Amino acid sequence: MENDKIHRVLDIYDRLQEGKVIYKSEEAQRFQVNEKSIQRDIEDIREYLEQNTVERGIKNDLIYDYEKRGYRLECVSKMSFSNEEILALAKILLDSRAFTKHEMMNMLDKLLDCCVLPENRGIIDRLIANEKIHYIQPHHGKVFIDKMWQIGNAILESRYIEITYEKTKNHETVKRKVQPQAIMFSEFYFYLAAYIENIDKEKEFSVKNDMYPTIYRIDRIAEIQVLDEHFKIPYRDRFEEGEYRKKIQFMYGGRIQKTIFWYKGLSVEAVLDRLPTAKILKEDDGKYLISAETFGTGIEMWLRSQGDAVEVV
């Protein structure tokens, strides 16, 4: 009899998952039991769904549909995050260290308030509490989300923007009229990729025939003005952010270059993940000969940081 009940409950649950409506009288006849037994089965399924909500953050309700006069599953979880997903997102957000402490705490609170059920909020809070306490904001201490939104809209509308930008080395301020192409994120900072308008490349650029966009740290943009003027780029010449992102891992401008080096460290996977264009050319007794294409000289800093684990060919 116990096996019959288990089979009956699982069968009903499977059909609820398929979107079918369950009628007590039909189920009672189908399984040759009384309607009270079917009602108990329905309550068992409800209890399981409630437990799933608490343990996994997946909320599905077994409701009585008065119009159809039967029971059906209302899937709320399709549009919501699970506890595991929210924890992962919160950890990534904290580890990015991309925002001021006030901004970061505010974003996390909103994320948890919107996406985590009240009964599960305490679990997530405890799992990220230590990182929240010890969160270190970026040294620039600037709020720039409003500028990112302005840039994003300018990209969608293909509108020129004029920026006042503070250079990294000497803090010199320059004005630039640019065609914004993409917003990217890398290691604590958000960047704008844009083509500069009306500039003497021979005088200003180290690579005079550079066809790729210039990279600007968004927190260093002191002022921004979206202009009414539109630009147009042929589809065949469009900026492909995904492809570009594979090669500009270090956010340094310059020409595209190929670097070949031996890697003899502990995890070649970490190198392949750090350099998406990297390919293993050869393996020799735990050493790997690797080739990678990147923009600019940023890779040189990374190679030096690897110490004896890397030998440049």
Work out the average pLDDT over 186-201: 84
pLDDT at position 186 over 90: no
pTM value is 0.66
**Residue given tokens 């003497």 in the structure block:** 200
pLDDT at position 262 over 90: yes
pLDDT of res. 60: 79
Contacts 24+ apart (CB under 8 A), 15-20: 16/45, 16/62, 16/71, 16/72, 16/73, 17/73, 19/72, 19/73, 20/72
Average pLDDT, the chain: 86
CA distance 298 to 186: 13
CA distance 5 to 64: 21
pLDDT tens for residues 98-128? 999 999 999 999 999 888 877 788 889 999 9
Report the candidate in 107, 118, 244 with the shortest Cα–Cα distance to residue 181. Answer: 244
pLDDT of res. 73: 87
Tokens of 201: 């490349």
DSSP 8-state class, residue 144: -
Q: Which helix (H) or strand (E) holds 46?
A: helix 35-56
pLDDT tens for residues 125-163? 999 999 999 999 999 999 999 999 999 999 999 999 999
- Give the other-Cβ count within 10 Å of 158's Cβ: 14
